């Protein structure tokens, strides 16, 4: 998953020092030496590639994908690096500050690095393979290859629990959603699973992301741009109203508050263990559900809106970014493009992490599971009907939220859910964080 692009997204994979690197060998790469790329002395350029590992995206997944790509791009030797922390954007910033920024990185929002002059834009002639070549552009330039689309979130639900509560169909309106939550609670079933423990604070955000995306963005898609220019504020009544929805779900006992202490992996397991009936999560979850099916029937729907109109929050991007100081920017970009367009890599990503690969002419493998296909069909219909919007807080282009704001938001959501911050106080905290982080504080 690239969400978590912040977030996005994820299990810590090793203990490390604040500026330490977890390095692995791939495509003939060496685990020794500094993080910077250099000539190997054999007519090759050694480039460092910062990855991350999750339950879906394992070390074996990355090693195989790196090897396939390196076979396509002669003259490049890759040294794989693995982020030791869930907040890989912050980790990459530490590396930048210490002069160790990797040559190629993936699944990291580029905005803060562009502001620091640390990234090289991709030439326009390298973007023709992508369905949405302008996704995430910053001042008209593309710094991150737009190789995949994710819905963040869809709502996955336990069909058996719905049947037990007398719910005949997935809700489409907000009032129906609340009524269904009440029915579930009445028969002793917690309606909604959430996470947020330890370093996985991002796992608590999806009710808010869904509410803001569904209620505010259809009428004001320029909200973040207006925020950047000072024309808008998080204290806008429409944003506060979206936060109020999360507070209401919590106050009415519809959120599994115990989840706030669970890691992402344990949150997913809690849903599998019938701790709650619904699980708002990104579309990487079906990859896990198809690999190891839950003990119950699984369904999926879009977060309900006031009107019942489908609004699906999506993010397109997540691909490679390239350091402007790579020993060969041209070769680094060539390798990155090959990585993000290789058919076998695309298939592996779709299977491993449930991505909707945004490359022209791409067709998912026929052996993908039923849960992936159900999510993909929901996305395809929403896209065809022009019912998609940006997923709040995951934007990567001009006006995207600074990573510090996203981090502060994820921590503050726990206060909103626990009732220690009112929706108005929560909104003000985000506005204060935005002012601080936008000014370099």
Alpha helices in 159-284 (DSSP H): 159-164, 174-186, 206-215, 223-229, 237-251, 264-272
Percent of the chain with pLDDT over 70: 90
Q: Could you tell me how many helices (H) and strands (E) the chain has, helices first? A: 15, 13
Alpha-carbon gap, residue 191 to 161, rounded angstroms? 9
**Mean pLDDT calculated for residue range 46-75:** 94
Q: Answer yes or no: is pLDDT of 11 > 60.
A: no
22-148+318-366 CATH: 3.40.190.10
The confidence score (pLDDT) of residue 31 equals: 33
3-state percent breakdown (helix, strand, coil) of the chain, nearest 5: 40, 15, 45
Q: Where are the domains of the chain?
A: 22-148+318-366, 154-314+398-438
Alpha-carbon gap, residue 173 to 198, rounded angstroms? 33
Q: What is the mean pLDDT of the chain?
A: 90
* Band of pLDDT at residue 3, cut at 50, 70 and 90: low
Answering whether pTM is above 0.75, one says yes
Classify 154-314+398-438 by CATH class: alpha beta
Q: Answer yes or no: is pLDDT of 12 > 90.
A: no
Q: Answer yes or no: is pLDDT of 73 > 70.
A: yes
Alpha-carbon gap, residue 114 to 5, rounded angstroms? 15
Which candidate, 292, 298, 236, 302, places its Cα nearest to that of 269? Answer: 292
Buried b (16+ CB within 10 A) or exposed e, 267-301: bbebbbebbbbbbbbbbbbbbbbbeeebebebbbb
The confidence score (pLDDT) of residue 54 equals: 85
Q: Helix, strand or coil for residue 137?
A: coil
The confidence score (pLDDT) of residue 430 equals: 98
Alpha-carbon gap, residue 286 to 351, rounded angstroms? 9
Alpha-carbon gap, residue 115 to 167, rounded angstroms? 49
16-30, 42-56, 282-296 — which is least confidently predicted? 16-30
The confidence score (pLDDT) of residue 236 equals: 97
Which candidate, 157, 180, 148, 223, places its Cα nearest to that of 379? Answer: 148
The confidence score (pLDDT) of residue 8 equals: 35
Alpha-carbon gap, residue 189 to 367, rounded angstroms? 34
Express each pLDDT in 74-127 by its tens digit.
999 999 999 998 788 889 999 999 999 999 999 998 988 999 999 999 999 999
């Amino acid at each position: 998953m690239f969400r978590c692009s912040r977030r996005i997204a994820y299990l810590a994979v090793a203990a490390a020092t604040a500026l330490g690197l977890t390095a692995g060998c791939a495509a003939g790469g060496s685990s020794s030496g500094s993080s910077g790329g250099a000539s190997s002395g054999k007519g090759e350029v050694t480039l460092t590639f910062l990855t991350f590992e999750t339950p879906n995206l394992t070390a074996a997944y990355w090693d195989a994908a790196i090897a396939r790509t390196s076979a396509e791009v002669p003259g490049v030797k890759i040294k794989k690096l693995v982020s030791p922390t869930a907040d890989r954007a912050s980790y990459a910033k530490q590396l930048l500050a210490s002069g160790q920024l990797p040559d190629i990185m993936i699944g990291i929002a580029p905005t803060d690095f562009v502001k620091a002059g640390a990234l090289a834009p991709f030439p326009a002639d390298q973007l023709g393979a992508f369905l949405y070549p302008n996704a995430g552009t910053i001042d008209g330039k593309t710094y991150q290859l737009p190789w995949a689309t994710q819905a963040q979130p869809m709502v996955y639900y336990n069909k058996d629990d719905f049947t037990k509560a007398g719910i005949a169909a997935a809700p489409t309106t907000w009032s129906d959603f609340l009524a269904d939550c009440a029915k579930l609670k009445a028969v002793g079933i917690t309606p909604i699973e959430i996470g947020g423990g330890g370093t996985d604070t991002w796992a608590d955000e999806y009710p808010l992301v869904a509410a803001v995306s569904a209620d505010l963005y259809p009428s004001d898609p320029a909200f973040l741009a207006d925020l950047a220019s000072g024309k808008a504020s998080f204290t806008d009544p429409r944003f506060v109203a979206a936060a109020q929805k999360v507070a209401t779900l919590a106050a009415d006992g519809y959120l599994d508050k115990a989840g706030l202490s669970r890691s992402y992996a344990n949150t997913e397991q809690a849903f599998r263990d019938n701790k709650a009936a619904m699980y708002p999560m990104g579309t990487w979850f079906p990859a896990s559900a198809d690999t190891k099916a839950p003990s119950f029937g699984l369904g999926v729907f879009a977060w309900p809106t006031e009107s019942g109109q489908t609004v699906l929050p999506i993010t397109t991007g997540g691909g490679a970014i390239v350091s402007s100081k790579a020993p060969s920017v041209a070769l680094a970009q060539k390798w990155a493009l090959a990585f993000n367009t290789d058919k076998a890599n695309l298939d592996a990503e779709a299977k491993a992490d449930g991505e909707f690969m945004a490359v022209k002419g791409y067709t998912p493998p026929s052996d993908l599971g039923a849960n992936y296909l159900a999510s993909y069909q929901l996305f395809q219909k929403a896209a065809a009907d022009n019912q998609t919007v940006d997923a709040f807080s995951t934007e990567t282009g001009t006006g995207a939220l600074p990573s510090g704001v996203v981090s502060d938001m994820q921590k503050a959501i726990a206060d909103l859910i626990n009732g220690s911050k009112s929706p108005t106080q929560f909104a003000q905290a985000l506005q204060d964080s935005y002012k601080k982080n936008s000014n370099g504080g």
